[in-house]
Amino acid sequence: MRTPSWRRLLALVLALGALSVGTAGPVAAVPGLPGLPIPGLPGLSPPGANDFSCTPSAEHPFPVVLVHGTFADAYGSWLTLSPQLAAEGYCVFALNYGRRGTIAIERSAGQLDDFVDRVLEVTGAAKVSLVGHSQGGMMPRYYLRFLGGAAEVDELIGLAPSNHGTTTPLAPIIGPVCRACAQQAAGSPFLTELNAGREVEPGVDYTVLVTRYDEVVVPFRSGYLSGPAAQLTNVTLQAKCPLDLTDHLFITYDPVASDWVRHALDRDGPAAPGFRPPSCALTS
């Protein structure tokens, strides 16, 4: 089934609209329509996140750091997942980086590095778990590979990550005002360097969640990584839940994707390929 044209149009409208506010300062989400950026509102942490007095429990020893995508922000991206994880006893943190993720990805990765260092310092944890959307599922791989992050991260869970970029024509076109967009074009020098030699780091587990209705990361399977099965699980959401219609923009609000994330966080290693999300019942 082809991605509905209205979804592709909505993605384009959101991307272009975000450009007009991408450097305007902190933003939040339009009530009732998650993730739509609007200017002029104070920057907010999503519910349940950024309690720097949180002490990790023995059951959940690794704090979870949530990493938003291009043109997005922590508040608008994680309104659903952040309070879910906090209610389950995780210490949850979420950063805003890179002028809404538009600057060079290498610089954004440095900001993630600094944020993780702070989380580790205040919580006393040995490592963190990373959960990222879109660029936020790919950018941490630069931190893991080139900035020493592999020693500080237990696992990386990517929701519709741009691991091999996108063939969407918009990405290189808006490069002059969004350096990270050009870097996420399929075949870019940045992605060529990132994926050269190996795609996963020793000692880090990876779970990749993609949707066949992705209108931004095209083709959708370009989010997949290559690596040892014991260290990596690639998941297309519709393989287990055929009626799940979530797309790129709303995957962070999708109950099926949330089930996969929480499953991966709750176990040693990446998500189990045989896992069936309980929320499939809602889409069957």
Structure letter (DSSP) for residue 208: E
> What are the pLDDT tens digits along the chain (284 aa)?
444 444 444 444 344 333 333 333 333 332 222 333 333 344 689 999 999 999 999 999 999 999 999 999 999 999 999 999 999 999 999 999 999 999 999 999 999 999 999 999 999 999 999 999 999 999 999 999 999 999 999 999 999 999 999 999 888 888 899 999 999 999 999 999 999 999 999 999 999 999 999 999 999 999 999 999 999 999 999 999 999 999 999 999 999 999 999 999 999 999 999 999 999 976 55
Peptide bond into 278 cis (omega under 30): no
CA distance 95 to 85: 16
Instruction: Provide the CA 85 distance to its chain's centre, in angstroms.
Output: 15
75 touches 29 (CB < 8 A): yes
Q: Determine the Cα angle at 240 with ends 235 and 243, to 5°.
A: 115
Amino acid code (one letter) for 28: A
3-state secondary structure of 158: strand
Domains in the chain and their CATH numbers? Answer: 5-283 (3.40.50.1820)
31, burial (CB in 10 Å: exposed 0-12, middle 13-18, buried 19+): exposed
Where are the alpha helices (H) located in 157-283, listed in sequence order?
170-173, 179-183, 189-194, 237-240, 255-265
